[in-house]
Amino acid sequence: MNQSLKTSQIPHSVEAPLTFAIRDGAVLVSLPSRPGEGVGRYEGEHETRIVEITNAWPLADELNLDREGFQLVHHHTDVDFPTMANARRLMSARPKPSSGKPPVQNG
């Protein structure tokens, strides 16, 4: 990150636990849970560390792929989620996943 940034320019950040794989030569497997079925599990050696996660969007114009190793890019979308109510409305309008069974015919 650009070392010339003033403290007032440093964006909001939080600390959160993230799980990392330990490189010991073993095969690593991540088994995610299905929705509503609890927590996924990992096979192989892993450890959880508390890391700082920072919102870098206020610095997007100052970040450089060659210097920081990443950059933030804006992408256009036709989906607008200004409120959770709108998000729920849009999500409920999505087609439900198919069970693989033919639809029930009424009448």
pLDDT at 52: 93
Q: Which residue has the higher pLDDT, 73 or 107?
A: 73
Question: Domain boundaries in the chain?
Answer: 7-92
Residue 99, both tokens: 């069970």
Closest Cα partner for 72 from 88, 64, 80, 60?
60
Is the pLDDT at 96 greater than 60, yes or no? yes
pLDDT, tens only, 19-71: 888 888 888 888 888 888 888 888 888 899 999 998 888 888 999 999 999 99
Q: Would you say 49 and 75 are in contact if contact means Cβ atoms under 8 Å apart? A: no
Q: What is the pTM of this model?
A: 0.44
Is the pLDDT at 4 greater than 50, yes or no? no
